[in-house]
Structures are given as C-alpha cells and as structure tokens.
C-alpha cells in the first residue's frame, strides 16, 4: 500500500459535475445553443486559460470568462447548503486514514470552493493538504497539480496514489508518475488512458477492495 494519496474533488469525491452539467445545459438552452457532448469530455477537470480555450472552441459566439462566471455562480448557488458525496468516499478515506496514509486533495477548483465542498460534505477532516489549480501554471492534463501535491505531502510522486474521474485528470496523474486510479463519472476513459492507469474502478468502493486485496 502507498503511504500517500491524492484525490481530485469534483466528480470523484462530490457529485458536482452532474450539477454543473445540468446548469450548462440550461444556460445553453437559454442562448439557443446546441449541447455538444464532446464539450464535457474535454472540459471536465480543466481550469484557467485552458478551460476558456475549450469554451471558445466549442462555442465561439460566447464570451468565455463572462459565460464561465455565470456558470460557476449558478452551479455554486445550488451547492450552497448541500453537497452530495459519491459512493464509497467515506469508506475509502476512513480506511486510508486508519492505515496512516497521508491524504491531500488536488482540484482544479479554487481554494474557497474546495474548502466549502469538503466542509459541507463533512469530509474536511481527512485531508492534511489542499492544492488548487490556481496554484500551478499549467492545469490538468499537465501533471503540475499532482507534482505540487506530492511536494506538499513530502512524498515522491511514485509513492502516491492519485484518484481521478476525468480523462484530463487521469492523464495528469499518469504524467506525474503516480499510481493513478480512475473512477469515471461523466466521461468514460479512452482505450489509451485505460491502458495507462493502474486501474479503472466503477466506484471508490471497488478501489478500496483492490487496495485491501493488495492489488493496488
């Protein structure tokens, strides 16, 4: 078993990507735009300029920063008082903490959003470190955020699990040299990514079983 674990947040720990997808579909309908499902394949797990580029690529008539801000605000409004956890979150976090594993969260979201979701979801206590995409120059799929999280933990990346749900995050974990476990949420992995990661699990409960059985 690894001594360190790094978790993505949106779509992995908390069921936020579904919320933001619904909000996006509502906003697209309000503007008479057709929702391209490939957009979510590309945008999930990203942040910053890279995210703006993807919005512009798919919807060139939009002003990406203005649209993103409304999208963000409307999504956060729906999650002010309720954050739903994904299956197996508490079980896996509790097991890892009980085994002395040090745990960090590394999310493309801003630090305030990360803290809000962890606190409202009741899982803040499990994480010794919080790393935001705002702290690195290059967002996922670049490995920067996981390399920073490993440094914060005082670990070599090869000593770390990375748990991710998105294609972008999966590749970031692989490039960082971490043992990457993919738990797909909105978007299935490509065959190439499926071969590159250590495991693809339907839920975090399945990832926990693999760790307990010594398969990860």
CATH of residue 93's domain is 3.40.50.1000
Stretch 25-37: mean pLDDT, rounded? 94
pLDDT band with cut points at 50, 70 and 90 for residue 83: confident
Q: Are 57 and 138 within one domain? A: no
Q: Are 176 and 196 within one domain? A: yes
Q: Are 134 and 42 within one domain? A: no
Q: Are 59 and 89 within one domain? A: no
- Number of domains comprising the chain: 2
User: Which distant-in-sequence residues (6+ apart) come within 8 Å of 20 by Cβ?
Assistant: 10, 71, 75
Residue 82 clears pLDDT 90, i.e. is over it: no
Q: Are 176 and 207 within one domain? A: yes
As given in the structure block, the two tokens for residue 155 are 């670990």
Q: Are 59 and 98 within one domain? A: no
Q: Are 59 and 123 within one domain? A: no
The label of the residue with tokens 């649209």 reads: 67
Q: Are 11 and 40 within one domain? A: no
pLDDT band with cut points at 50, 70 and 90 for residue 165: very high
Are 140 and 46 in contact by the 8 Å Cβ rule? The answer is yes
Tell which of 61, 78, 95 closes a domain. 78
Q: Is 152 left (phi over 0), alpha (psi -120 to 50) or beta?
A: alpha
pLDDT band with cut points at 50, 70 and 90 for residue 76: confident
Q: Are 201 and 154 within one domain? A: yes
As given in the structure block, the two tokens for residue 27 are 């906003």
As given in the structure block, the two tokens for residue 91 are 């079980």
pLDDT band with cut points at 50, 70 and 90 for residue 130: very high
Which string of DSSP letters, residue by residue, matches 141-173?
TSSHHHHHHHHHHT--GGGEEEEE-SHHHHHHH
Tell which of 37, 53, 78 closes a domain. 78
Stretch 69-86: mean pLDDT, rounded? 88
Q: Residue 74: its pLDDT value, please? A: 92
Residues of the domain holding 150: 4-15+83-212
pLDDT band with cut points at 50, 70 and 90 for residue 216: very high
Q: Residue 121: its pLDDT value, please? A: 94
Q: Are 168 and 206 within one domain? A: yes
Q: Residue 153: its pLDDT value, please? A: 99
Q: Residue 78: its pLDDT value, please? A: 85
Are 189 and 170 in contact by the 8 Å Cβ rule? The answer is yes
Quote the DSSP letter at residue 47.
-
215 or 37: whose pLDDT is higher? 215
| C-alpha gyration radius of the chain | 17
Q: Are 64 and 99 within one domain? A: no
pTM for the complete prediction?
0.85
Tell which of 30, 56, 78 closes a domain. 78
Strand partners, 161: 5, 179
Q: Are 9 and 50 within one domain? A: no
Residue 129 clears pLDDT 80, i.e. is over it: yes
Residue 183 clears pLDDT 80, i.e. is over it: yes
Q: Could you give the percent of the chain with pLDDT greater than 90? A: 82
Are 104 and 127 in contact by the 8 Å Cβ rule? The answer is yes
As given in the structure block, the two tokens for residue 157 are 């990346």
pLDDT band with cut points at 50, 70 and 90 for residue 186: confident
């Amino acid at each position: 078993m690894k001594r360190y674990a790094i978790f993505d947040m949106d779509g992995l720990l908390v069921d936020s990507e579904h919320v933001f997808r619904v909000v996006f579909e509502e906003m697209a309908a309000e503007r008479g735009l057709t929702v391209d499902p490939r957009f979510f394949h590309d945008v999930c797990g990203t942040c910053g300029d890279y995210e703006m580029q993807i919005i512009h690529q798919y919807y060139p008539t939009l002003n990406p920063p203005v649209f993103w801000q409304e999208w963000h605000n409307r999504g956060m409004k729906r999650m002010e008082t309720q954050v739903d956890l994904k299956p197996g979150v508490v079980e896996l976090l509790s097991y890892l903490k009980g085994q002395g594993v040090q745990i960090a969260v590394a999310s493309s979201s801003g630090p305030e959003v990360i803290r809000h979701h962890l606190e409202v979801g009741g899982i803040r206590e499990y994480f010794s470190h919080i790393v935001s995409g705002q702290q690195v120059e290059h967002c996922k799929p670049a490995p920067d955020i996981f390399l920073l999280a490993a440094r914060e933990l005082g670990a070599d990346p090869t000593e770390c699990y990375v748990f991710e749900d998105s294609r972008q995050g999966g590749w970031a974990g692989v490039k960082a040299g971490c043992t990457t476990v993919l738990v797909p949420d909105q978007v299935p992995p490509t065959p190439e990514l499926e071969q590159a990661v250590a495991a693809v699990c339907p839920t975090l409960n399945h990832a926990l079983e693999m760790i307990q059985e010594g398969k990860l």
